[in-house]
Amino acid sequence: MSLSKLRNLKARVKARDGYWVEKLKLDFTKALSGQMKRKGLKKGDIAKNLDLSAPYMTKVMRGDENFTIETMVKLARAAGGQLHLHISDKDSDVSWIECNGGNTFRELIGKVTEDQYKFEGDRFSVIRGGDHREHGDVAA
């Protein structure tokens, strides 16, 4: 298969809602797994906390469950976390920066060189190669 045909196929697949549903289910289970690891929790701990069956938790961790937001919130909280949802422009490339332990966004971003990020009041710019900039809000 040629590279252009592969790109075309990828674009067609990404145009379907089903792709995004499956991707987000996997993103959620990956994040849940990471949170559980950071907190030293096993599937059985979460299942016991929420009165769920072991087979259900296996299904969850495989990404085979079609989650409701309520279920996602309960699972995240049982793992000592919280769920965040975000809607961005379809052409955006989104990255998360988690601020915890008393670190503010400005403190974390301050470790990155000025030629990569720039603050402009309550907005920041991310410079990605050359002069391409992406803008975003900074929480007060």
The whole-number pLDDT of residue 57 equals 93
* 67: nearest Cα among 36, 96, 28, 100: 28
pLDDT surpasses 50 at 134: no
Split at pLDDT 50, 70, 90, the class of 99 is low
Query: Residue 18 contacts by C-beta under 8 Å, 6 or more apart in sequence?
Result: none
C-alpha distance across the termini of the chain, in Å? 50
Query: Residue 25 contacts by C-beta under 8 Å, 6 or more apart in sequence?
Result: 63, 65, 66, 67
Higher pLDDT residue, 128 or 18? 18
3-state secondary structure of 2: coil
pLDDT surpasses 60 at 79: yes
pLDDT surpasses 60 at 136: no
The whole-number pLDDT of residue 108 equals 64
Task: Look up the CATH architecture of domain 3-78.
Answer: Orthogonal Bundle (1.10)
Q: Which of these ranges, 34-38, 46-50, 53-57, 114-118, has the smallest mean pLDDT?
A: 114-118
Q: What length is written for the chain?
A: 140
Cross-strand partners of 76? none
What percentage of residues in the chain have a pLDDT greater than 70?
A: 69
Residue-range domain boundaries for the chain: 3-78, 88-140
Split at pLDDT 50, 70, 90, the class of 118 is low
Higher pLDDT residue, 96 or 118? 96
